[in-house]
Structure 1
């Protein structure tokens, strides 16, 4: 779909009047893009960096109701989130996967077991399905052998879901393109264009990939959408200096599965402050997260992307080692780290953990900002936004009821021997590209990369067909081998180079520059702080 040369073709198609221009290529913008194109609108999405570059590739990988929101009496947010979790499980069953959570309750918790059980009952009521319970004492050792049994009073369980967040963005964008929409990455909105009455009617964009040519283009649309998440206020500076976004940093540690071998997720209360943290199995690793801290502006100037601090590393290690003391995790066991910014609508709450995850739409001079929200509720956010701007555009079609993703139709080439489970996994990641992928791929490249679920065939396909402009696009977002392999997959440098140069035509100089920039980024923002 986005093979070599696609971006030049996209740039040449920008010169037309659009019904809707969306700024921001994360899950919020992607959801609006897909829905608007499905409704028959002529829609364009512009992303300053890579698709899913920001929060949407650095989430906690959960599609969840947010059990902790009930503690803060955010019943509406929890209800909407649980409902949306159920919808995503239904419409994307091969990408959004059910996940069992274990919830141990200790004497030092400030919440007794009965309150947790009440919260889980409300949680299930919102989801219209009973999916929680309590382990019998004789079953605790069997299901949770590594768990600290000292002062343990009960062990509960409930259900949520897990997702590959960056792939969800890509699949959502792909659906929008199939519906007739246009996307372009690495295009920076230099300024907003207003008419004489002050209404925003277009944008001036700068091609970030023009290699010193300073290529600009003015683009006009009936309605302009700001879906830039944590950076929403940057565009709003055209009208006001009043900020609505509170940037909260959530940092995570990734461990090899053999260091913390869990088959189900765990929700834990940190011993120092009672905050919820979790351990989840993801892509044959274990993720520990998350923190909840204000992200100062000076941090954004310090490094190119959000990064974990040594205090956060210590905090997460303390939390996990309290509950799994026999494993004795330390810094040397950490495979990689990642940190994302949550775009919280500023409500004046002092405690970051009590800030609401509700979304809000702000209209200013015909410019619509959608702020707040979370990955789980991206479809509802898209629906609310399109409904809000419907008076600005004529909708050719009515919204269709979303149905389950169709089971993939494919003919397995005789040269390939792939299990049904693997086909289901690939279909969730590739959608309608599955058949083309199978036909193109070489049998010998269906081996897994290191201990990950990702195959070399997927890496090659991403390089060929998924809009790769820089190495971090491929290793951190289309695939995640930069997070899942030791030292950012450094030991596979030569093989990656061979694939990249064959599919993207990079010469040796381009490759060396990209590898140097990638390793520098990985050391700064995806590993332990120096």
Structure 2
């Protein structure tokens, strides 16, 4: 299996270096475009200077949602599209995206109850038919939902959105793109590109400093926070100036409540903050919105952001949250399209696709803004814009095609598909701990069989590194998912970083060095 990724990540001098689409950036938008284009019969290559989902796409609030708060800014088109995409993604990726119930306590001094009720009614109906339950009111003092909240909260509301493993969403799009013929090159960056007649001549560099060139009929600049610098410095095109970098940070603390539901809290500054169950018995709290300048690869949470998030949730939970309670944090930089809003929280999360090109000159399409929920539709729009230069492009297809591992099979009426699949897999692999099988089902779906098939005992999985991670899974991630380092595996492929002991991390590092 290792040869599969070697073929994709290390192009040789004799390889065909001509493509219809060269995508720059291995986040959710870039991998989504690569998947869509490859499935339409186009020759596709994607370059990512680090690992897939290294930056913004693995630092989200891990939600597939319409964006309830965007209704206040009259972003009805964005919310409608996001709600429609929420429904599609729940159907095509049921292993990594599951329904999540939110509890919204009513704070009388902020938004009035009638306004919240009206917003939730619109939210329930704006996207059309939904498989998720409708919003409803709840008396918090009489409900388990109110148990962790301060006694002053009596009235509240519940509604549903989706929870997602954001980095795995990126990886699955890359896998599908590769299996449809795309070349996925990680640890490779675009250093320069120039128009040569009707194609781009692109210079690429590997992490070891060696370089190679490819030709492409079109470029897609999905470099996220680096989108403007790629345009100016590598491509030499004067792109739009309307790029606004906004930092969003999250913290994790020991679990603040029991249950698998989430909370959404209104803050006095008009923003909202989520509290969401997370891995390893933690509650994730986020997010912030702060203007950012500097190198996006050196983003980190500030003490002020930690204090802000702690203070916000402490206004609602009985148990105060203090900065010293924080056991983990992560931050990302959102490359938003600047609509001149004075408040970073009010900057639109809609996307803008800017095309530079002429009928006789190859185009470069740059992605500004966007949110993880709408990545698939963004990819469709990108291919629509490139169609005049790619007349052989096929029809849209990703709306109903399961992402790799998402073909979980049917379930009994009223039974959740993922729960039914996990039950079947736990019976099939009875030698393994049920919790391990459930984790793998949620990460790989049906493709967990590529790791476990043929195994009859835990010893068949090879060396154990801790946290139920074994050599067989690591081998799969190296061979099929472009994993190269311990961080690739523990933070972006398995999410076992917090559970893995230091001794196991050291042995994993040594094992990976031996594999390479």
TM-score scaled by length of structure 2:
0.86
- 459-468 vs 54-63, greater mean Cα deviation: 459-468
Counterparts of 2:393 and 2:380 in 1: how far apart (Å)?
16
Could you tell me how far 1:123 is from its partner in structure 2?
0.4
Aligned equivalent of 1:146:
148
Aligned equivalent of 1:315:
308
Counterparts of 2:82 and 2:264 in 1: how far apart (Å)?
17
Could you tell me how far 1:246 is from its partner in structure 2?
0.6
Alignment of 1:255-270 (within 5 A): 255-257=253-255, 259-270=256-267
- Report if the CA contact (8 A) 2:95-2:441 is conserved: yes
- Report if the CA contact (8 A) 1:357-1:373 is conserved: yes
Three-state SS of the structure 1 residue aligned to 2:218 is: strand
- Report if the CA contact (8 A) 1:460-1:500 is conserved: no
Aligned counterpart in structure 1 of residue 495 of structure 2, from 461, 477, 480: 480
- 235-244 vs 354-363, greater mean Cα deviation: 235-244
Counterparts of 1:243 and 1:200 in 2: how far apart (Å)?
26
CA offset digits 1:82-122 (Å, max 9, x no partner): 1111110111111111000000011221x111100100000
What number of residue pairs does the alignment pair up?
484
Aligned equivalent of 2:412:
none
- Report if the CA contact (8 A) 1:192-1:200 is conserved: no
Alignment of 1:297-308 (within 5 A): 297=294, 300=295, 304-308=297-301
Aligned equivalent of 1:429:
443
Aligned counterpart in structure 2 of residue 250 of structure 1, from 245, 248, 263: 248
- Report if the CA contact (8 A) 1:265-1:280 is conserved: yes
- Report if the CA contact (8 A) 2:135-2:157 is conserved: yes
Aligned equivalent of 2:270:
274
C-alpha RMSD over aligned residues: 3.0
Matched, 1:469 2:484: yes
Could you tell me how far 1:34 is from its partner in structure 2?
0.7
Counterparts of 1:137 and 1:416 in 2: how far apart (Å)?
41
- Report if the CA contact (8 A) 1:415-1:443 is conserved: no
- 183-192 vs 406-415, greater mean Cα deviation: 406-415
- 19-28 vs 237-246, greater mean Cα deviation: 237-246
Could you tell me how far 1:14 is from its partner in structure 2?
5.3
Three-state SS of the structure 2 residue aligned to 1:194 is: strand
Three-state SS of the structure 2 residue aligned to 1:329 is: coil
Aligned equivalent of 2:55:
54
Aligned counterpart in structure 1 of residue 377 of structure 2, from 380, 393, 412: 380
Three-state SS of the structure 2 residue aligned to 1:204 is: strand
Aligned equivalent of 1:519:
none
Alpha-carbon spacing, 1:121–1:436, altered in 2? closer, same or farther (3 Å): same
Could you tell me how far 1:384 is from its partner in structure 2?
0.3
Matched, 1:223 2:224: no
Matched, 1:113 2:113: yes
For structure 2, the 5+ residue unaligned runs are 358-362, 410-420
Matched, 1:236 2:234: no
Alignment of 1:90-109 (within 5 A): 90-109=91-110
Counterparts of 1:320 and 1:137 in 2: how far apart (Å)?
17
Could you tell me how far 1:334 is from its partner in structure 2?
1.3
Alignment of 1:68-467 (within 5 A): 68-109=69-110, 111-127=111-127, 128-129=129-130, 131-136=134-139, 139-140=142-143, 142-150=144-152, 152-195=153-196, 201-208=200-207, 210=208, 214-237=209-232, 238-240=236-238, 242-257=240-255, 259-271=256-268, 273-283=269-279, 284-297=281-294, 300=295, 304-324=297-317, 326-365=318-357, 366-395=363-392, 397-400=394-397, 402-404=400-402, 405-407=406-408, 416-418=430-432, 425-431=439-445, 433-439=447-453, 443=458, 458-459=473-474, 461-463=476-478, 465-467=480-482
For structure 1, the 5+ residue unaligned runs are 508-530
CA offset digits 1:259-297 (Å, max 9, x no partner): 5545311110123x1311110112242110000111122
Counterparts of 1:372 and 1:448 in 2: how far apart (Å)?
41
Alpha-carbon spacing, 1:5–1:355, altered in 2? closer, same or farther (3 Å): closer
Alpha-carbon spacing, 1:440–1:494, altered in 2? closer, same or farther (3 Å): farther
Counterparts of 2:509 and 2:327 in 1: how far apart (Å)?
24
- Report if the CA contact (8 A) 1:3-1:465 is conserved: no
Counterparts of 2:334 and 2:220 in 1: how far apart (Å)?
19
Could you tell me how far 1:470 is from its partner in structure 2?
2.8
Counterparts of 2:64 and 2:253 in 1: how far apart (Å)?
21
- Report if the CA contact (8 A) 1:345-1:356 is conserved: yes
Could you tell me how far 1:479 is from its partner in structure 2?
2.4
Counterparts of 2:61 and 2:483 in 1: how far apart (Å)?
24
Could you tell me how far 1:7 is from its partner in structure 2?
5.8
